[in-house]
Amino acid sequence: MDEQKNQPEPSRNAGPSSPPTGHEPGPGAVKRHRGRTIALIVVVVIIAAIVLVRWHPWNRSDAGASAATGASGARAASGGRRGGGAGGMNQPQPVHVAAVTQGEMPVVLNALGTVTPLANVTVRTQLTGTLQTVAFQEGQMVKQGDLLAQVDPRPYQISLANAEGTLAKDMALLQTARLDLKRYQTLLSQDSIASQQVDTQASLVRQYEGQVKSDQANIDTFRLDLVYARITAPVSGRVGLRQVDPGNYVTPGDTNGVVVITQLQPISVIFTTSEDNLPAILKQLHAGTKMSVTAYDRSNTTSLEAGFLETVDNQIDTTTGTVKLRATFQNNEGLLFPNQFVNTRLLVNVVKNAVIVPTSAVLNGSIGSFVYVVKPDNTVTVRPVKIGPVDGERTSITSGLQVGERVVTDGSDRLKEGAKITIPADRPRGASGASGARAASGAASASGAAGASGAASASGAAGASGAHRHRHASQTSAE
């Protein structure tokens, strides 16, 4: 009995101190629980480090200041653009300038003219007959007296022979009458015949003398016809197209004639000028001055020939108020052609020591002709001027400018009184300075960007290093 009472006691005392085998955790389970906790902590630390690297909470104040500064700069730039739009005229305007010079200014009269030959002859036959031959080529240059064509001369040769026979007969009759008159005069001196018979014989002699002269004139006429049968060039020049072919019956009344000859060397140009220019031209002509005239092509760019003014017409055209002038040219190269349209430049006089500016610098407005004069402080002022002779791209100024002053030649449409200007020649220095400023700004920006990138990299590396040390410490404590 005592033995049975003492046996259950150890089993009851052992119950609380050791639980059943199915509910007690083993050493492996505890280690797994700690590993998951450490991994979770490491993930949280890594996420926190990434957030810190991306966010930079310690630089928020600087970023805010930068943003404020950027916004302020944008507002300032916007305001500057608005101000520039309103006050753009106060900005310096780029222009081109030229200096006022002194020199000789030719007084040139420009006019439109027509090339007119000094001789333009339509060659016609002076006889009636058949055209036998044509001795020229179309477009050929011929000289005065050269054979052009031949009319059949045979009818005129026969008429000449007939006239010569009549002359011989009348000469014989005249000789007989003169002998009879001599005999009658001898008999009259002997008082053998009446004086009336002597007078009648003397009258007969004079009749025969008249008949002989008439016969001689007929002979000369037929000989001249034979000369006319050879059609020759009346002037030297260039023949045109043939108007009639050999074999045709030609008459002096033919309208077109045989051919037209135009004299080309020398040749003239007829042009007109205003009656206001006539006094200056006549003054030079009366003084015996040979005024030069230059002929230019239709575009007024290429010089064709140089000559001299020959004469002025004897009256002014009241319809147009102009007068005609003729200039002659040697035309050795044949560049002037009949009826060609040309531009002429007549040199009337040369002004000595004239004040000269580019023509583009002279403007016209309500105050008349004026220029923009550049002042020493690179501002412009409006200066009225009086214009003298103009020669293409140069204009002479009679009053209003001094030699050495500078005038605006291009860009004047954006100027006004007192406007500031810049000259393109001064731009390279300013452009170089601006380029240096931009280069310095770019270098600073690149340096700042590199610094920020380095800081970010350093902070990221520090965060990663801290996370690694924290994970190593946790694993050590866990062990």
Sorting pLDDT into bands at 50, 70 and 90, what band is 425?
A: low
117 in a domain, yes or no? no
Among 250, 279, 301, identify where a domain stops. Answer: 250
**Higher local confidence (pLDDT), 438 or 203:** 203
357 and 275 assigned to the same domain: no
292 and 396 assigned to the same domain: no
With pLDDT > 70 as the criterion, what percentage of the chain qualifies?
74
Task: Encode pLDDT of 362-416 as tens digits.
Answer: 999 888 999 999 999 989 999 999 998 888 789 999 999 999 999 999 988 888 8
Sorting pLDDT into bands at 50, 70 and 90, what band is 218?
A: very high
Give residue for tokens 């008349």: 368
Whole-number pLDDT of residue 90? 67
Sorting pLDDT into bands at 50, 70 and 90, what band is 431?
A: very low
CATH for 282 = 2.40.30.170
> Please, what's the b/e burial string for 315-346 (b: 16 or more CB within 10 A of its CB; e: otherwise)?
eeeeeeebbbbbbbbebeeebbebebebbbbb
With pLDDT > 90 as the criterion, what percentage of the chain qualifies?
56
Q: What pTM does this model have? A: 0.58
Q: Is the dihedral of CA 30, 31, 34, 35 positive or negative?
A: negative
Q: Name the least confident of 168-182, 192-206, 255-269, 418-432.
A: 418-432
What mean pLDDT do residues 282-294 have? 92
147 and 239 assigned to the same domain: yes
Q: Which domain holds residue 391?
A: 353-422
Tokens of 62: 């600087």
147 and 232 assigned to the same domain: yes
73 in a domain, yes or no? no
294 in a domain, yes or no? yes
For the chain, the average pLDDT equals 79
Decide: 244 and 124 in contact? Cβ < 8 Å.
Answer: no
How far is residue 279's CA from residue 90's CA, in Å, rounded to a whole number? 51
First CA to last CA across the chain, in angstroms? 53
Whole-number pLDDT of residue 461? 37
467 in a domain, yes or no? no
Q: Which secondary structure element, helix H or strand E, spans residue 232, and what is its range? A: strand 230-232
Decide: 264 and 139 in contact? Cβ < 8 Å.
Answer: no
What mean pLDDT do residues 260-274 have? 95
155 and 246 assigned to the same domain: yes
347 and 407 assigned to the same domain: no
Whole-number pLDDT of residue 439? 36
234 in a domain, yes or no? yes
Whole-number pLDDT of residue 414? 84
**Higher local confidence (pLDDT), 461 or 425:** 425
Torsion over CA of 314, 316, 319 and 325, rounded to 10 degrees? 80
CATH for 173 = 2.40.50.100
Write the CB contacts of 355 (distance below 8 Å, at least 6 apart in sequence): 100, 101, 102, 396, 397, 398, 401, 402, 403
Task: Encode pLDDT of 165-180 as tens digits.
Answer: 999 999 999 999 999 9
The pLDDT of residue 69 is above 50: no
The pLDDT of residue 1 is above 90: no
307 in a domain, yes or no? yes
**Higher local confidence (pLDDT), 203 or 51:** 203
Task: Report how many domains make up the chain.
Answer: 3
470 in a domain, yes or no? no
289 and 373 assigned to the same domain: no
368 and 317 assigned to the same domain: no
- The type of residue at 112 is L
Whole-number pLDDT of residue 424? 78
Q: Which secondary structure element, helix H or strand E, spans residue 343, and what is its range? A: strand 341-358
- The type of residue at 174 is L
166 and 217 assigned to the same domain: yes
Helix (DSSP H) and strand (DSSP E) numbers for the chain = 8, 23
How far is residue 232's CA from residue 228's CA, in Å, rounded to a whole number? 8
**Higher local confidence (pLDDT), 352 or 436:** 352
146 and 209 assigned to the same domain: yes
Decide: 102 and 353 in contact? Cβ < 8 Å.
Answer: yes
Q: Name the least confident of 117-121, 191-195, 428-432.
A: 428-432
DSSP letter, residue 59: G
What mean pLDDT do residues 52-69 have? 52
CATH for 378 = 2.40.420.20
Among 192, 215, 250, identify where a domain stops. Answer: 250
Among 351, 377, 398, identify where a domain stops. Answer: 351
Decide: 167 and 215 in contact? Cβ < 8 Å.
Answer: yes
232 and 137 assigned to the same domain: yes
347 and 359 assigned to the same domain: no
DSSP letter, residue 300: S
